[in-house]
Structures are given as C-alpha cells and as structure tokens.
C-alpha cells in the first residue's frame, strides 16, 4: 500500500488507549483552557485522524511563513498550508505549559485536545498578509476563506497536541466519518491496489459520477473513495447530511457493486483553490489512495482562481517526488447530445459548443432554488428528488 506522506507509518494523534485518554481528560480539568476557533478544532480532528501525518501539532510563525512561501516547513517537510491555532486573546493561558483546547462546535464546549505549548507569538499585520496572500492568492475581504482566516486573530499558539475526541463528526455522521487508519484498513480488506480519491463539498451530479468512472478506467483502479467534507461551509452550500444521502443513492444505483467507498472527513472548507487542492492530495495519500482527481476550479470560489489553476500547481510548484499520490487531471465535463452521455470535452474534438449541455454545481443549485426540476443530463432522477425535497423544505421554512 502507498506510504503515508513524510513517514513510514501513519501518525494519528488521537489517544487510542482508554485509560490514558481518561487520565488526560481528568488532567484537562485542572489546566488553563482556551476556546479555539472552528478552524483550529478542525485541524485537531484532522491531526487526530491521521490525515495530517506526519505533523505533531500546530505550527509556529516560522513554520507557517515557510509553508506559505515555499510549501515546506523550516525542517524541510513538504506541506502546502499552515496548520495553526490562532486566537484573538491568549491571556487566559499566559505562562501555561499545557492547556486544554475547548471545542466551539459542540454544546458545552468540551475539551477536544490538550496542547503542550512551545510558543505563544503574535503575527504582525505584514506577516498575516503574507500568509494570506500566499495561501489564498488574494487579500480580498470578499473571499470567504480570506475573511474567515483573517478573523481568527493574530496570537499563534504552537506545539504538539493529544487529541481526545473527534468533535461532532462521529455523532452527526456515524456511517460516514472515518479516520485515515480506518480507510486504509478498509482498502486493505478489500484488496484494492489502486484507489482513486474524489473530493466533494457538493452533491454529485452526472458529470461527477462519470468523472469517477472515467478516472477508474483510465488508471485501472480497483475502486473509488468518494471522500466528502463534513465540516463548515460558506452560506448557501448544501448541508453535509443532504449531500451524503444524495451521493449514497447515486452509488447504490449507478456504480458497479463494491467499487465505491463513501466516507467523509472532519474539516472546514478553506476555499483556497490550488493550495487546498494540494492539501487534499496530501491527506488522500495518507488515507491510502494512489490517485486523486483534480477537476475544474477545484476548491475554488467565485472567480478568484482560473479554472485549471489547481491542476497547474501540481505541474509548476509541487516538486517532483514531493507526493507519492498521482494526480488525475480532469477537463471540463459536459453532456454530449451526439453521444447521449457525459464526456470530457477534450475527448470530443468533433463537437461544436451546441453539441454540449454544460453541467455545473452552481447551475444545479440555482435551478433547485428556483423550484425547477433537474433534467436527466444534470442529475440522476433519484438524486434530484433528494435535493428537490431539501430545497422545498428550505423554501417552506424561510420567512416570507
């Protein structure tokens, strides 16, 4: 099986031993505590679940700047996005060597992890802007990722962590949330040698379905990991539980049996375009996948990135050998009226623009919001029904 990134074995930071975990939970009661941001809590979940192997915790300013500017830590590890614990005010933990990190996303704010503090530093405005510009390619407050990141604060609390739970994800998504070790074990049991990973924060329409099938055929894969984001999104995006139901229905009806694993991971969407695409590749390698689909406007938002910038970064900025996972670059997909199926447009050179019905998640959402039925070129009828019910419920509950 493919090796984890930067390590011979996975390094999940979740404390597996029950007695040790209970001891740490008891210790946390006497420690200074900090209510962390949703982003820092999501980082803790990803660290605990082994997806961020080989990191042992949150980065300091030096590593964060180095990662932002060179995609390497000061120690030379290839890594595309700083993994930070940022806060507005660190006064409550001043001088503490160990602190309890409290989860903002669970009622009562239980302790999600214990951090051994190696440094508490303050980002300058210039340093914050440098990191933001490199990671997001923008400083615009209209960019949702920029606005969220710059709102976390400038206090940087670095150091290793011991993760005590996976926040709300196992409770809210018991059939879907899985850690990297769990996915690797499932791949091992299935005997899959080549596995294609597909990232999604949206319901999967026909183009996504066909893209997974094309990638499987192209690389000779044994199976596909449909790996959906379960964390926080921007307003207007479809909730995870609706996406989960729609994707599972599509897989049940339209994929060959036992060729797809539907899972999810506990992370907040960054909308960081190319840099986030590289992070997606890193943690799919850690999950045991050999190939990763990068399509049009991967992890993008609005018009902040070019349609294929997320593919270009792997060709121009990711050093050869930095990742073991291979990238499957996808062209624009569209429904061919001539062939009566979804194709990658580059594979149909004899077509004119009028021969295609172009597909997009945005167009699907707009039609559903307007109460319009989705044509079969857009979505499978059973999937469209699930999405339509959600939008009808939303419309019914919205104030008039």
> Inter-axis angle of helices 381-397 and 240-254, to 10 degrees?
160
- Half-sphere exposure in the Cβ direction for 175 (13 Å, CA): 7
**Residues pairing with 335 in the sheet:** 342, 357
**Does residue 270 sit in helix, strand or coil?**
coil
Return the structure tokens found at 210: 């066909």
Residue 324 DSSP label? S
Backbone torsion region of residue 273, taken as left when φ is above 0, otherwise alpha when ψ lies between -120 and 50, otherwise beta: left
Residue that has been written with the tokens 């390497």 in this structure: 72
Contact in structure between 331 and 349 (CB atoms under 8 Å): no
**Does residue 99 sit in helix, strand or coil?**
strand
CB atoms within 10 A of CB 357: 14
Cα–Cα dist 65/77, whole Å: 13
Contact in structure between 261 and 297 (CB atoms under 8 Å): no
Contact in structure between 373 and 351 (CB atoms under 8 Å): no
Return the structure tokens found at 351: 């077509």
- Catalytic pick from 102, 178, 184, 201? 201
Of 247, 361, 347, residue with least CA distance to 298: 361
Strand-pair category, 57-58 with 260-265: unpaired
Cα–Cα dist 138/377, whole Å: 35
Contact in structure between 215 and 291 (CB atoms under 8 Å): yes
Cα–Cα dist 248/216, whole Å: 18
Cα–Cα dist 83/59, whole Å: 6
Residue 347 DSSP label? G
**Does residue 225 sit in helix, strand or coil?**
strand
Residue 201 bears catalytic tag = yes
Of 90, 86, 89, 91, residue with least CA distance to 149: 86
Cα–Cα dist 195/219, whole Å: 9
Residue 202 bears catalytic tag = yes
- Catalytic pick from 105, 165, 186, 202? 202
Residues carrying an active site annotation: 201-202
């Amino acid at each position: 099986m493919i090796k984890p990134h930067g390590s011979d074995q996975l390094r999940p930071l979740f404390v597996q031993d029950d007695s040790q975990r209970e001891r740490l939970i008891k210790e946390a009661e006497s420690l200074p505590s900090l209510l962390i941001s949703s982003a820092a809590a999501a980082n803790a979940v990803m660290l605990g679940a082994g997806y961020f192997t080989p990191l042992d915790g949150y980065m300091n300013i030096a590593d964060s700047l180095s990662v932002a500017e060179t995609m390497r830590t000061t120690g030379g590890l290839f890594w595309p996005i700083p993994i930070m614990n940022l806060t507005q005010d660190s006064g409550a933990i001043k001088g503490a060597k160990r602190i309890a990190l409290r989860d903002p996303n669970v009622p009562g704010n239980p302790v999600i992890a214990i951090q051994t503090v190696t440094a508490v530093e303050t980002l300058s405005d210039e340093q914050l802007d440098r990191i933001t510009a490199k990671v997001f390619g923008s400083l615009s407050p209209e960019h949702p990722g920029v606005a969220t990141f710059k709102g976390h604060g400038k206090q940087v609390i670095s150091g290793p962590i011991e993760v005590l739970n996976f926040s709300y994800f196992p409770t809210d998504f018991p059939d879907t949330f899985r850690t990297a070790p769990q996915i690797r074990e499932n791949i091992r049991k299935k005997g899959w040698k080549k596995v294609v990973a597909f990232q999604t924060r949206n319901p999967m329409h026909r183009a996504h379905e066909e893209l997974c099938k094309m990638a499987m055929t192209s690389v000779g894969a044994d199976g596909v990991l449909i790996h959906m984001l379960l964390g926080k999104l921007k307003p207007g995006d479809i909730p995870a539980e609706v996406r989960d139901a729609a994707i599972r229905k599509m897989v049940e009806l339209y994929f060959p049996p036992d060729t797809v694993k539907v899972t999810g991971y506990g992370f907040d969407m960054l909308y960081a375009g190319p840099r986030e695409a590289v992070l997606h590749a890193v943690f799919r390698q850690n999950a045991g996948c050999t190939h990763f689909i990068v399509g049009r406007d991967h992890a993008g938002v609005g018009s902040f990135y070019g349609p294929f910038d997320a593919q270009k970064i792997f060709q121009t900025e990711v050093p050869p050998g930095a990742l073991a996972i291979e990238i499957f670059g996808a062209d624009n997909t569209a429904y061919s009226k001539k062939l009566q199926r979804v194709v990658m447009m580059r594979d149909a050179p004899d077509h004119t623009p009028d021969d295609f019905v172009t597909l997009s998640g945005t167009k699907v959402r707009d039609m559903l919001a307007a109460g319009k039925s989705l044509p079969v070129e857009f979505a499978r009828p059973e999937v469209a029904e699930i999405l339509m019910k959600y939008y009808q419920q939303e419309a019914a509950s919205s104030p008039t």
